[in-house]
Amino acid sequence: MKYANINLGKDVEIDPSSSINNVTIGDNVRIAKRCSVYGSPGNQLEIGSNTYIGMNSLLNGFAAKLTIGCNVSIAQNVNIMVDSGPNASPAMQKVFPLEKRPVTIGNHVWIGAGSVIMPGVTLGDYCIVAANSYVNRSFDHFTIVGGSPAKVLRTFTEEEKNKILGE
């Protein structure tokens, strides 16, 4: 693999079994075992400070912009992708064209194990994605989502918001 365009903040820990390329990583980020985290020269993947990426996760920011906020918790076996489709079959692409759209994960988001985040999704600040969810649409701040496809399970209560925001 050719390594290029890697900008690391302070105190970043990346397990040697993981691969990164075309990324900007903030301070105090941890990337666990066997992760693949990459953008492209035209789409630098951005990861905010104090973020954790669990083992065996794939963050594909090659075909469009992938932005991960600060204080994000990504559990193991999570797949976040900015493109999807039958990329090896021009014939299939005539009916099912490749989808290439940016993905934005807000600050303080918690993504449960085994979840898949599809192209074009934006998760607002303080979102929670339940384990094994298939997220193919965007959700607002302070929303708890889950399922396949993901739907709103509930929103944070005012008491929960006040605790988090220190009010």
- φ, ψ dihedrals at 33, nearest 5°: -65, 145
pTM score, two decimals? Answer: 0.94
Give me the chain's average pLDDT, please. 96
Q: Binning pLDDT at 50, 70 and 90, where does residue 4 land?
A: confident
- φ, ψ dihedrals at 82, nearest 5°: -100, -5
> CB-based contacts of 155: which residues, under 8 Å, 6+ apart?
140, 142, 143, 144
Give me the percent of the chain exceeding a pLDDT of 90: 95
**Rounded distance between C-alpha atoms, residue 78 and residue 34, angstroms:** 12
Domain residue ranges of the chain, discontinuous segments joined by +: 6-165
**Rounded distance between C-alpha atoms, residue 105 and residue 143, angstroms:** 13
Q: Which CATH superfamily is domain 6-165 in?
A: Hexapeptide repeat proteins (2.160.10.10)
What's the rounded mean pLDDT across residues 146-158?
Answer: 98
What's the rounded mean pLDDT across residues 19-27?
Answer: 96
What's the rounded mean pLDDT across residues 55-82?
Answer: 98
Strands 143-147 and 150-155: antiparallel
Whether the pLDDT of residue 1 is over 60: the answer is: no
Q: State pLDDT tens for residues 78-101.
A: 999 999 999 899 999 999 999 999
Q: How many Å is the Cα radius of gyration of the chain?
A: 16
CB atoms within 10 A of CB 60: 22
Peptide bond before residue 149 is cis, with ω within 30 degrees of 0: yes
